[in-house]
Amino acid sequence: SYVLTQPPSVSVAPGQTARITCGGNNIGSKSVHWYQQKPGQAPVLVVYDDSDRPSGIPERFSGSNSGNTATLTISRVEAGDEADYYCQVWDSSSDYVFGTGTKVTVL
Amino acid sequence: QVQLVESGGGLVKPGGSLRLSCAASGFTFSDYYMSWIRQAPGKGLEWVSYISSSGSTIYYADSVKGRFTISRDNAKNSLYLQMNSLRAEDTAVYYCASEARPYSYFDYWGQGTLVTVSS
Q: What is the pLDDT of residues B28-71, one digit of tens each?
A: 999 999 999 999 999 999 999 999 999 999 999 999 999 999 99
Q: Is the pLDDT of residue A94 over 90?
A: no
Among B53, B103, B102, smallest CA distance to B79 is for B53
- CA atoms within 13 A of residue A73's CA, in its CB half-sphere: 14
CB contact under 8 A, B45 and A86: yes
Interchain CB contact of B27 with A (< 8 Å): no
pLDDT recorded at residue A29: 97
CB contact under 8 A, B44 and A90: no
Interchain CB contact of B104 with A (< 8 Å): yes
| Mean pLDDT computed over every residue of chain B | 97
| Cα A51 from Cα A104, distance rounded (Å) | 19
Q: Among residues of chain A, what percentage have pLDDT more than 90? A: 97
Average pLDDT value for residue range A28-54: 98
CB contact under 8 A, A33 and B104: yes
Interchain CB contact of A52 with B (< 8 Å): no
**Contact criterion met (CB below 8 Å) for A37 and A83:** yes
Read off the pLDDT band of B95 (50, 70, 90).
very high
| Of B44, B107, B111, Cβ closest to residue A86 | B44
pLDDT recorded at residue B100: 87
Residue B46 identity: E
DSSP state of B27: S
Q: What is the pLDDT of residues B6-20, one digit of tens each?
A: 999 999 999 999 999
Element (H, E) at B34: strand B33-39
Q: Among residues of chain B, what percentage have pLDDT more than 90? A: 99
Chain center to CA of B47? 9
Contacts of B111 in chain A (CB under 8 A): 41-42
pLDDT recorded at residue B31: 95
| Of B46, B104, B110, Cβ closest to residue A42 | B110
Among A36, A38, A46, A32, smallest CA distance to A90 is for A32
Closest-CA residue of chain B to A33: B105
Interchain CB contact of A28 with B (< 8 Å): no
Among A18, A2, A4, smallest CA distance to A72 is for A18
pLDDT recorded at residue A56: 96
From residue A2, give the alpha-carbon distance in Å to each of A25, A101, B73: 8, 15, 32
| Of B45, B104, B107, Cβ closest to residue A54 | B107
Q: Is the pLDDT of residue A82 over 90?
A: yes
| Of A41, A45, A100, Cβ closest to residue B106 | A45
Task: Give the count of Cβ contacts less than 8 A between chain A and B.
Answer: 52
**Contact criterion met (CB below 8 Å) for B17 and B82:** yes
- Evaluated on CA atoms A13, A72, B97, B113, the torsion sign reads negative
**Contact criterion met (CB below 8 Å) for A100 and A5:** yes
